[in-house]
Amino acid sequence: MADEAPTDYSLANPDTLTKYKTAAQISQKVLDEVRKWCVEGAKILEICQKGDKLLNDEVAKVYKGKKVSKGVGHPCTVSPSTYVTPYTPLVSDAEEAGTELKGAEVVKIQLGAQIDGLGAIVCDTVIVGAGAEVTGRAADLMLATHYANELLLRMMMPPGLLATGTEEEKKKAQAIKPYSQSKITSLLEKLVKSYNCNLVENTTCWLFGRNEIEDKKKIILAPSEGMKGEGLAEVGEVWGVEMGVALGSGKVKTLPNRPTLHRRTTTTYGLKRPSSRATLSEIQKRFGTFPFSLRQLDDERAGKVGIVECVRGGVVRQYEVIGSSDGEPVSRLFTTVAITKNGVQRLAAPPQPNLDQYKSDKKITDEEILKILETTLAKPPSDKKKNKKKKKKPAKKAAAQKPDEEEDDEDDDDDDDDEDDD
């Protein structure tokens, strides 16, 4: 019997994109719910626990009875105003477990699902208790973050990907050099400074792979000394795109909180303690190489002991808790995108904000930036599928139908293909 061909996990396989989209739909659905729970006085721990449960419940509904690994691609985390990295307290740390959200706090929610090792992670920033109108520095921060994220997504697109016109014009567009990492940072810094904000240093976008959310390429925005990105986005790739903006300097520091977010590495090491081996075994079975919180382990207290040797031996990486060095609020967005021949496709993305809600006396004036922001991320949906699927109505029914009903039917068909959503 011939060996089965290895599964193609590239975007050339339509099944891969379907799995990414399924994971993304779950991530966005859970994010929508978690946003509602972020109210003044709510305990961060309880929000995270409910978010994880909802993620697991939703994942359980898909790919039933199929030999497909699935689960949480990133635990639910809720980071207070000055925190930069995802934050998720433990039940056993009484002080942190009691941490509550404050009114007007700038909160970052991050979470994700994974199907067959294909993760879709998303992060959004919300202002606790924000009314119909947000003014002052909070409005500056939210607008700067939104537009910087839109600019970054457009600068990541390979040159000439959506070029139109003659073959000569297309070739000319494709011959333009892509934005270098230093140019990307330069334009983003110029944009956020329009709102008197700064980029958060070492904000990193990663190439995604199967069972790998930190693959071989990365883009580092506002890199600190000694930090350097590697490579740029290309067609056929999936990326995790991060945007971090600060009201202060953007400089960061390690906070005294216990690291509670971890991730299995590919390193092998002979663990000596039985508690360490038991912890690693549970991590491998339940989370693979995706991030997890110690509170998700069956025995949190035993996990806190077992994880120590795992981290020391390099088989597990711990994520330090990082915050703004000057105590000023920071915001973050995280979008999982696919770079296809039709453009940049948002898979898991924070919801588009109502920009009218934010009232700022500042605005972007740089012509180069404004021009990039005007460009589209993807080709508009094709009408071919819709025309094929359009069924001819019986003569009597068509005659009886009102004109506005016909328009409604056409609108329904328009919802058929959302792949190229801008």
- Structural domains of the chain, ranges and CATH numbers in brackets: 14-259+319-374 (3.90.230.10), 260-318 (1.10.10.10)
Reduced to 3 states, what is the DSSP secondary structure of residue 76? strand
**127 to each of 91, 332, 362, how far by Cα in Å?**
25, 12, 19
Residue 398 reports pLDDT greater than 90: no
Pairing of strands 358-359, 134-135: parallel
Mean predicted confidence (pLDDT) in 86-110: 96
**Is residue 341 scored above 70 in pLDDT?**
yes
- Predicted pLDDT at 384: 53
Phi, psi of 69 (to 5 degrees): -70, 145
* Closest residue by Cα to residue 328 from 232, 227, 253: 253
Q: What pLDDT does 245 receive?
A: 98
> CA-to-CA distance for 181 and 178, rounded, in angstroms?
9
**Predicted pLDDT of residue 382:** 67
Rounded average pLDDT over 96-106: 96
189 pLDDT band, cuts 50/70/90, is: very high
The helix, strand and coil proportions of the chain, stated in percent and rounded to the nearest 5, come to: 35, 25, 40
Q: In three state form, how does the secondary structure of 296-333 look?
A: HCCCHHHHHHHHHHHHHCCCEEEECCEEECCCCCEEEE
Quick one: pLDDT at residue 381? 74
Q: What is the pLDDT of residues 205-239, one digit of tens each?
A: 999 999 999 999 999 999 999 999 999 999 999 99
Strands (E) in 80-213, as ranges, are: 106-115, 118-127, 134-135, 198-199, 203-208
Provide the whole-model pTM.
0.89
**Which pLDDT band, with edges at 50, 70 and 90, does 383 fall under?**
low
352 and 153 in contact (C-beta within 8 Å)? Answer: no
Average pLDDT, the chain: 91
User: pLDDT grade, residue 5 (50/70/90)?
Assistant: confident
The answer to whether residue 317 scores a pLDDT higher than 60 is yes
